[in-house]
């Protein structure tokens, strides 16, 4: 007589053995998954950013780069006109860090004696943020010998909003504002070990230490002075 296997599998050692083996595989896979997840989280928490000495970089010059608007009033008038046609302005800026004497320094563009800005600018309608930032970085600091600069966009480190057609920017959207007039994003750019930058003649490229930027909105404005806090989550690796 031939015994028939019960559908429940009870009383069949082979069936139970298969269940135990499958459970073992599941336990191993789950454990590996937990380990991989923990490793990824740890890597993100302890994220390292390579910093290289300022002396590794060469700075040349190129033709002046002028703002589209000659005055602050003209800038906000153009913003108002464009907002009526295309809506909120999107802008991006790059944060480039080097080290000098073992201290992190941010590269800033200086115009005149008191105005400092990060390299970047306005995005075109529908333009991708990363592609747009690479375009703007090349326009601002790209070399002139035909060699393309490889801009490595590492992470978005800040968001700022302009609620009205006025200078003030905020790191949040005020409660009574439903249509901010501009959204500015800050991106950390990982510099290579060496590079050549071409600086527009009407600007100076300066390296400002984080301790000078910290809590110094009077000298650098609220966005740039916030960089020490925004960058504090990274682990700087000095090379």
Range name among 41-45, 143-147, 193-197 with the lowest pLDDT average: 41-45
How sure is the predictor about 47, in pLDDT bands with cuts at 50, 70 and 90? Answer: confident
Does the residue 52 lie in any domain? yes
How far is the C-alpha of 229 from the C-alpha of 217, rounded, in Å? Answer: 13
The pLDDT, as a whole number, for residue 7 is 47
Does the residue 149 lie in any domain? yes
Name the residue range of residue 69's domain: 43-238
Answer whether 186's CB lies under 8 Å from 193's CB: no
Structural domains of the chain, count: 1
Specify the CATH number for the domain of residue 166: 3.90.79.10
The pLDDT, as a whole number, for residue 12 is 52
33, two tokens: 């998954």
Percent of the chain past pLDDT 70, that is, above it, reads: 81
Does the residue 79 lie in any domain? yes
DSSP 160: E
Does the residue 38 lie in any domain? no
Does the residue 7 lie in any domain? no
Q: CA 189 → CA 51, 93, 132, 138, distances in Å? A: 11, 10, 13, 13
Percent of the chain past pLDDT 90, that is, above it, reads: 72
């Amino acid at each position: 007589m031939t015994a028939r296997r019960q559908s429940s599998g009870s009383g069949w050692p082979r069936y139970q053995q298969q269940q135990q083996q499958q459970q073992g595989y599941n336990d191993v896979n789950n454990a590996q998954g937990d380990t991989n997840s923990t490793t990824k989280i740890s890597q993100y928490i302890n994220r390292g950013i390579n910093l290289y000495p300022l002396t590794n970089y060469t700075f040349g010059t190129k033709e002046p780069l002028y703002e589209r608007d000659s005055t602050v009033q003209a800038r906000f008038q153009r913003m108002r006109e464009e907002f009526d046609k295309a809506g909120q302005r999107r802008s991006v800026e790059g944060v480039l860090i080097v080290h000098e004497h073992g201290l992190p320094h941010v590269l800033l563009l200086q115009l005149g004696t008191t105005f400092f800005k990060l390299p970047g600018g306005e995005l075109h309608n529908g333009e991708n943020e990363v592609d747009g930032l690479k375009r703007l970085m090349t326009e601002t600091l790209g070399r002139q010998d035909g060699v393309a600069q490889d801009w490595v966009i590492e992470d978005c480190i800040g968001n700022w909003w302009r609620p009205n057609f006025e200078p003030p920017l905020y790191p949040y959207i005020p409660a009574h504002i439903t249509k901010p007039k501009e959204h500015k994003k800050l991106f950390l750019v990982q510099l290579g070990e060496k590079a050549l930058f071409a600086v527009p003649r009407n600007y100076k490229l300066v390296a400002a230490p984080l301790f000078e930027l910290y809590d110094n909105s009077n000298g650098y404005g609220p966005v740039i002075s916030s960089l020490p806090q925004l960058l504090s989550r990274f682990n700087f690796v000095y090379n």
